[in-house]
Structure 1
Amino acid sequence: MGKKSKFFRAFVEGQTISDNRTVTAEMIDDIVATFNTESYTPRINVEHISGYSPEPPFNGYGDVTAVKAQTDTITIDGKPQQRRALYAQVDANDQLVTLSERNQKPFPSVELTPNYAGTGKFGLIGLAFTDTPASIATQRLNFSRVNGNVIATADDRAALEFEAGPADANGIAAAVVQGLTGFFSKFKPEGQPAPKKDEQQLPANDNVFDPAAFATAIGGIVAAAIKPVVDAQTQHASDFTALRAKLESTDANQGFSRPPATGGSIDPKLATDC
């Protein structure tokens, strides 16, 4: 299971930057109309190269799970313009997250077919991440890790912002308190009618149900119960980060009596058609 992203802008109406093609609003709406992961799931690659091997770097980096279209204000030549935009949501694997952390291949670039399944409409068949997107105004991929959790920064570059991950013990307890308070408040009387003349009012007692107090008590119990788990998860993430830093700084050739073989040469005539 990968890291599910929030929607990010991957394709914008207008003239492309690299080859002067024209992207129309109809093309974007076609992509949304034809998209269905039960029929076809577009895969993610790097630089539009889909290798035959399951090994990096030209293997799969995740799936496109959803698309939507909306009209955005895009500034071109200093002037704001209304442009139709395609947004995508992806299920990214660890390779894609690591790629972003190293600030490599940060921009999305869509792969289309003009006659999706014989419909005569444009359809999305893949998504690449590249240094040179053809479309204007794509949003930059920007992941980061905090305490072992993958999150997105809050600036405008954050194209792939992950949905909320596991909260800490106090956060979970607060959510429990809020939910229980709202639920039990439905059963609390809004108020007692004023006593009639000569009618004796019942004294207050300790048996009156207080939803807020009950919810707070339950929240404290939940926080105490899950704290060891949260603390252990945080410690494991810290240990993993330290181990990875140590391995990355270790000489790969240490302990070899001779340098590793470099392998054969590659025929310079071979090239990949992107």
Structure 2
Amino acid sequence: MPKLTTDWMKVAQSGPTVDGRNIDPAWLLQAAETYSVDTYTAMLWPDHFRFQNYGKVLELRADTRPDSVVELFARIEPNAAYLWNNQFGQRLYFSMEIDPNFAATGKAYLVGLGVTDSPASLGTDELKFSHRRNKPESRFLPGAEFHGLTDDEEERVDGLIARVLQRFTIHPKTPASEEPMKNEQYAAQFEALEQRVAAFEAQVADLKASFAATVVTSAQSTEQAKEQAKEEPAQGAPDSADAFAKLCDTVLKLSQKLDAIDSRLAAAKPGETFNSTAPAGTAPLL
């Protein structure tokens, strides 16, 4: 896969910084002279933090303007992580990491290039380095805005970003469309429902017959008890007439409820309508 590279972009210039310090022109000239990816590759770091690089610096070039200001230019190779952030207007500017005495050579060297949201400036000399570098003379120098892609390269960037998005995007599966039911399926369902209703009606009929027999038996037993009570007066025994009356009343109410159930089952047979929104206690039993 071909790598994306930028055109020459200005990353710093010599002279006073916004905080009153100075960028030595010799640093930029020496950095352009000594830089080589074979010697030490300067990586692109988000805000100078060493946890995920955004690409690397391929080449450096220094130009001297008529006013003696030295400008440092770089060609970089950004990766997908950098392109992802940059498309949202993030990490627009560069910030040099210069070591004035690289590897005891006595010459300055670009050891890294930060990408940041700080505004473009002449350059800020910062004495502290990242946690992995403890040389106090190392410099962080903000520079210029990232804007060096050609039209062809922008199209390649768009394609690369689209591939990255596709890799990390979850595509929901299209649910299978439900086929409409056939007449045979409807007929089978209604037949099964009718069989269940018929079986339930038979159970209710058996239950009603059983209760009717119980009522007759209870009535006969009560008559016998009354006759026996007439012949043998009770001596301190509880009055069984009230108990019998309560029992008959309970059996009568239960029989009425069963009749109501039977009526609702008849109304629920297939082909007939029924009220499915009846109040609790009166809704059809299915």
TM-score by length of 2: 0.45
TM-score by length of 1: 0.47
If you compute each CA radius of gyration, which structure gives the higher value, 1 or 2? 2
Bigger fraction of residues in helix: 2
